[in-house]
Structure 1
């Protein structure tokens, strides 16, 4: 199942990133939906979900001190833009057994904007 998801993510990601400009300011507004469970930026803490500093390039289930489902810990994927696009549309379908309660974000432009916002934050929470 993993190779199929990754292949679909790569195809969708290539199409979506070519079609939609990314707007970090719009992504910050979308991130409001995530704030109940996630933080990002300097001093971000793990809440119900892990902090999202340095998300892209990080292995799933790897933030120290965060509580993860067994499914997230063993998924073994490195977060890329393409994988995140697939995941955020339907987390429970992408990682069966995840405890993430979010129903999903399906608007491709909003996903692009959210990615642009999250990509601003390094592992230390700082922006360039």
Structure 2
């Protein structure tokens, strides 16, 4: 009789432990869901992506509103404040150093991927072609990785039209001879 009672106690303890483990597992799945962000919080540039090498011609997605009209009312001072976000990777001073990205002095109307002393351009940037016109800057700064697929630039972009107009107006001032407004 004692053996049967001991066996029942052990069996009840094992069943209770199994039930507790199942309930705990179910509750933890409900309370703690794994959420993978859509975009990485910080991306380390490692060179050209495989998708950029696979495409023959760069795609230009539909993007932001045209910049020309917005530049007329853009605020250069607000653009200078926004440029601080860029300052982690870019310098904007005349003769200034390259950082993770190229120096942006005189960037408006400069050919893409052409800063003479910067060697870290992705092949996607070098092969994209053209110059950094106001409209090109507008599209690129809206969503860099979508505009030039395979770019090493990890910045997500400026989604607000006014912010892009302000930053582009500021970039225009980074020159001894600023490009005329459109």
* Structure 2: distance between partners of 1:12 and 1:80: 15
Q: TM-score, normalised by structure 1?
A: 0.83
User: What number of residue pairs does the alignment pair up?
Assistant: 120
After superposition, the C-alpha distances for 1:10-36 in whole angstroms (9 at most, x for unaligned) are x832xx432461111110000010001
* Pairwise CA RMSD: 2.2
* Higher RCO (CA-CA < 8 Å; seq separation 6+): 1
Contact 2:122–2:150 (8 Å) recurs in 1:
yes
Residue in structure 2 matching 1:5, options 35, 57, 60? 60
Offset of residue 49 of structure 1: 0.4
CA separation of 1:19 and 1:65: change in aligned 2, threshold 3 A? closer
- Tell whether 2:121 aligns with 1:68: yes
Question: Structure 2: how far apart are the matches of 1:55 and 1:100?
Answer: 16
Task: Give yes or no for contact 2:65–2:161 (8 Å, CA) kept in 1.
Answer: no
Equivalences for 1:42-121 in 2 at 5 Å? Answer: 42-66=94-118, 67-121=120-174
Which ranges in structure 2 are unaligned for 5 or more consecutive residues? 1-56
The alpha carbon displacement at 1:97 in A equals 0.6
Tell me, what secondary structure is at the counterpart of 2:60? Answer: helix
Matches of 1:96 and 1:61 in 2, distance apart? 14
TM-score of the two chains, using structure 2 as the length reference: 0.60
CA contact (8 A) 2:143 2:156 kept: yes
Query: CA-to-partner distance for each residue in 1:21-76, whole Å, 9 max, x for gaps?
Result: 11111100000100010010233211110011111111100001211001011111
1:127 shift after superposition = 7.1
CA distance in structure 1 between the partners assigned to 2:70 and 2:152 by the alignment: 31
Distance 2:173 2:70 in 1: 20
CA distance in 1, matches of 2:75, 2:96: 22
CA contact under 8 A between 2:75 and 2:166: conserved in structure 1?
Answer: yes
